[in-house]
Amino acid sequence: MIKTAYNGLKTAWKGLALTIKHFFDARESKKVVNVKEANYFDQQNGIATVQYPHQELPIPEVGRYQLDVVIDDCIVCDLCAKICPVDCIEIESIKGTEVIGKTSDGSVKRLYAPKFDIDMAKCMFCGLCTTVCPTECITMTNEYDRSFTLVTDLTYHFADMTEEEAELRREELETQLTERKAAKEAAMKKTEEK
Amino acid sequence: MNFYLLYFLVAFTIFGFIAVFSLFSVYAERKVSAFMQDRLGPMEVGKYGWLQTAADILKLIQKEYILPALADKVLFTIAPVIIFVAVYLGFVALPWAPGLVPATMNLGVFYVFAIISIEALGILMAGWGSNNKYSLLGAVRSVAQMVSYEIPIGFAIISAVMISQTLDLQIINYNQGILAIDAVKFLGFVDVTKIGGILAWNVFQAPHLLVAYVIYFIASLAECNRAPFDLPEAESELIGGFHTEYTGLRFAFIFLAEYAMMFLVAMLGVTLFLGGWNTPLPNVGSLQLATYTTGVFWGIFWIMTKCLTVVGIQMWIRWTLPRLRVDQLMTLCWKILTPLAFLCLVISGLWKLLL
């Protein structure tokens, strides 16, 4: 019985010594350093908490967090929406009546994008869309903290066309199509007449 | 008339003290636990989070009282009151300084020991009244634990009382310092009545009381349901134990009682074993340190210092040791603490007979 009591006290003291050591080590906090720093593992003791909004962990410049789209460079090929495993990208396209312009890397733009939405609530940050993009207009940024009070705010809209503009383009396409159809029919009639 | 006014004043002072102490010690507990786990603890409310507990109590006051549909309404409602009042009344007999004690009682030790046992009843009422299996399990564990640990705690207390030869807490205090009524003997033979200080404390008057104090301390942790004996509220097993169903102010009172109980057992232990409000500084030659540091103000200072140290140790233990299993809890009580406490009791008897 005495031995059990002695052992109990001895082992309890071991634990107590450990916690009191940490208690006194808590006088200082670990400094927030980049994981790439040479002295990163030198800081063994002290408070480990990073007080997040006031302190931030250093992140790599080319972080792979939230998606961003440079809509001017987009050729509306829809590849990103097709590869997305969770279908978080929604794109609507309108064929242009002629070549619209060129992207910064020289690709020819033929389609308008009245709608380019990414639902960040669905996004799983796999980065597949950024690899398939032929013009590299969809990228991952190093921004990671965005919070919203409305869940709908998590759907980012990247299209810069207004509804009227989109409507105008649709009408243009419509007229071009009808014109072409009429021309085609006229051509067919001509061949039949011959 | 003034008579009653004084009564109310004393009651309010004690309540105020309990409330302030609880706010302070909840904050301290969170900080201590955080530092021991390399965290920071509350940091946002006020500088270093010092207003955190005030914010918590404001939140608790505003909360709705939820009465479970199938609960026993009477038991459920009065249980927190009984739990709190049992602990609150315990403070009545505890002396703070020479001549400063809320109520002089020649049965002080017995009274305190009896009244804090009522808490077990309150806890059982809370657990049964909640009509929730977790609550009931917690309450049953709590009662089993409190009733069992009253045996070693009782033996430890009696072995101190046998040395002091009185049940009056104030006289026990007087006899551990320079204001002693009887002769005080360090280790049983050196007369230190005029020297006082740490040498005159009960644990040094009879060294086997050190063992008795350790037993008392361990058993008192079980009495106030604190880790490593927090089986009644074991979060990981029983959600919240007997207070699972409580909300708002009722929960606040249970919590208040828990922290008040910590201080109460610390104060009782300090009074019985560690010299109570007596100074640890002895009179050495012409340097009359003990005489200088004895008085009403010093009495309050010393007892607060000692009690807060003991409370600090309670927290330290809570954040170090893992919770015991029920069988280990009972083994510790019946097979280790009780025989050791009984041994202390026997030594106390022989001590008084032979020395």
The two beta strands, B190-191 and A108-109, are: unpaired
Q: Which tokens sit at A132?
A: 């398939």
Report the distance separating Cα A143 and Cα A95, nearest Å. Answer: 33
Report the distance separating Cα A97 and Cα A175, nearest Å. Answer: 9
If asked whether residues A38 and A71 sit together in one domain, one would say: no
Q: Chain B residue closest to A54 (CA)?
A: B44
- CB-CB under 8 Å, B316 with A16: yes
User: Between the CA of residue A78 and those of A84, A89, A95, A162, what are the distances in Å?
Assistant: 10, 9, 13, 20
Residue A51 forms part of a structural domain: no
If asked whether residues A87 and A32 sit together in one domain, one would say: no
- CB-CB under 8 Å, A5 with B36: no
- CB-CB under 8 Å, B336 with A47: no
Residue A165 forms part of a structural domain: yes
Question: Which of A19, A43, A45 to mutate to test binding with chain B, by most B CBs within 10 Å of its CB?
Answer: A19
If asked whether residues A108 and A17 sit together in one domain, one would say: no
All residues of chain A having their beta carbon less than 8 Å from the beta carbon of residue B214 are 9
A13-44 as b/e: b if 16+ CB within 10 A:
eeebeebeebbeebeebbeeeeeeeeeeeeee
Residue type for position B207:
P
If asked whether residues A71 and A164 sit together in one domain, one would say: yes
Q: What residues pair up with A115 in beta bridges, in sequence order?
A: A92
The string of pLDDT tens digits covering residues A127-149 is: 888 899 888 888 888 888 888 88
**Model's pTM, two decimal places?**
0.79
If asked whether residues A35 and A78 sit together in one domain, one would say: no
pLDDT of residue A108: 84
If asked whether residues A103 and A170 sit together in one domain, one would say: yes
The answer for residues whose C-beta is within 8 angstroms of residue B280's C-beta and 6 or more apart is B197, B198, B201, B302
The string of pLDDT tens digits covering residues B330-341 is: 888 888 888 888
pLDDT-based confidence at residue B296 (cuts at 50, 70, 90): confident
Residue A95 forms part of a structural domain: yes
State the average pLDDT over residues B303-319.
90
Partner residue opposite A26 with nearest CB, options B35, B214, B335: B35
pLDDT of residue B243: 82
Task: Measure the CA dihedral B170/B172/B177/B183, to 10°.
Answer: 130
Partner residue opposite B336 with nearest CB, options A4, A22, A47: A4
Residue B58 has pLDDT above 80, yes or no: yes
If asked whether residues A107 and A164 sit together in one domain, one would say: yes
Report the distance separating Cα B185 and Cα A140, nearest Å. Answer: 80
Which H or E run includes B101?
none
- CB-CB under 8 Å, B35 with A47: yes
pLDDT of residue B284: 76
Strand, helix or coil for residue B56: helix
If asked whether residues A117 and A174 sit together in one domain, one would say: yes
Report the distance separating Cα A91 and Cα A118, nearest Å. Answer: 9
The string of pLDDT tens digits covering residues B19-35 is: 899 888 889 988 888 88
Residue A54 forms part of a structural domain: no
Task: Measure the CA dihedral B108/B113/B116/B120, to 10°.
Answer: -160
Report the distance separating Cα B206 and Cα B273, nearest Å. Answer: 10
Q: Which residue has the higher pLDDT, B192 or B353?
A: B353
Residue type for position B186:
F
Q: What are the residue ranges of helices labelled H in B131-188?
A: 133-164, 169-174
- CB-CB under 8 Å, A19 with B319: yes
Average pLDDT, chain B: 85
Question: Which of B31, B33, B37, B45 to mutate to test binding with chain A, by most A CBs within 10 Å of its CB?
Answer: B37
Look at residues B113, B5, B60, B70 and name the one whose alpha carbon lies nearest to residue B250: B60
Task: Please report, for the domain that includes residue A147, its CATH number.
Answer: 3.30.70.3270
Q: Which residue has the higher pLDDT, B85 or B233?
A: B85
Domains held by chain A: number: 2
Phi-psi region of A90 (alpha: psi -120 to 50; beta: other; left: phi over 0): beta
- CB-CB under 8 Å, A16 with B320: yes
Q: What are phi and psi of B107, to 5 degrees?
A: -120, 25
pLDDT-based confidence at residue B203 (cuts at 50, 70, 90): confident
Q: Which tokens sit at B273?
A: 């074993």
pLDDT of residue B200: 78
Residue A154 forms part of a structural domain: yes
The string of pLDDT tens digits covering residues A105-120 is: 888 888 888 888 888 8
- Minimum distance, in Å, between the CA of residue A48 and any CA atom of chain B: 6
User: Between the CA of residue A189 and those of A175, A186, A192, what are the distances in Å?
Assistant: 21, 5, 5
- CB-CB under 8 Å, A18 with B38: no
Q: Chain B residue closest to A6 (CA)?
A: B336
**Residues of chain B with a CB closer than 8 angstroms to some CB in chain A:** 32, 34-40, 43, 214, 316-317, 319-321, 332, 335-336, 339-340
Q: Which tokens sit at B330?
A: 């009972």
User: Between the CA of residue B329 and those of B123, B222, B232, B338, what are the distances in Å?
Assistant: 19, 9, 12, 12
Q: Chain A residue closest to B43 (CA)?
A: A51
Environment class of A80 (CB within 10 Å of its CB; exposed 0-12, middle 13-18, buried 19+): buried
If asked whether residues A11 and A101 sit together in one domain, one would say: no
pLDDT of residue B139: 87
How many alpha carbons lie under 13 Å from residue B314 in its C-beta half-sphere? Answer: 34
Map chain A to HEC letters. CHHHHHHHHHHHHHHHHHHHHHHHHCCCECCCCCCCCCCHHHCCCCECCCCCCCCCCCCCCCCCCCEEECHHHCCCCCHHHHHCCCCCEEEEEEECCCCCEECCCCCEECEEEEEEEEECCCCCCCCHHHHHCCCCCEEECCCCCCCCCCHHHHEEECCCCCHHHHHHHHHHHHHHHHHHHHHHHHHHHHHHHC
Partner residue opposite A19 with nearest CB, options B39, B40, B320: B320
Does the predicted interface ipTM exceed a cut of 0.90? Answer: no
If asked whether residues A26 and A105 sit together in one domain, one would say: no
Residue pair B136/B238 in contact by the 8 Å Cβ criterion:
no
Environment class of B127 (CB within 10 Å of its CB; exposed 0-12, middle 13-18, buried 19+): buried
The string of pLDDT tens digits covering residues A46-103 is: 788 888 888 888 887 778 888 888 888 888 888 888 899 998 888 888 887 777 788 8
Partner residue opposite B38 with nearest CB, options A16, A20, A26: A26
Question: Which of B38, B338, B342 to mutate to test binding with chain A, by most A CBs within 10 Å of its CB?
Answer: B38
The domain containing residue A149 runs over which residues?
67-178
The string of pLDDT tens digits covering residues A155-178 is: 888 888 788 888 888 888 888 888
Residue A153 forms part of a structural domain: yes
Residue type for position A163:
E
If asked whether residues A33 and A125 sit together in one domain, one would say: no
Residue pair A127/A140 in contact by the 8 Å Cβ criterion:
yes
If asked whether residues A73 and A158 sit together in one domain, one would say: yes
Residue A38 forms part of a structural domain: yes
User: How many CB atoms sit inside 10 A of residue B253's CB?
Assistant: 22
All residues of chain B having their beta carbon less than 8 Å from the beta carbon of residue A50 are none
Partner residue opposite B39 with nearest CB, options A1, A19, A47: A47
Residue linked to tokens 């593992």: A41
- Minimum distance, in Å, between the CA of residue B302 and any CA atom of chain A: 24
State the average pLDDT over residues B187-199.
73
Residue B193 has pLDDT above 80, yes or no: no
Residue A188 forms part of a structural domain: no
Q: Which tokens sit at B290?
A: 């003990």
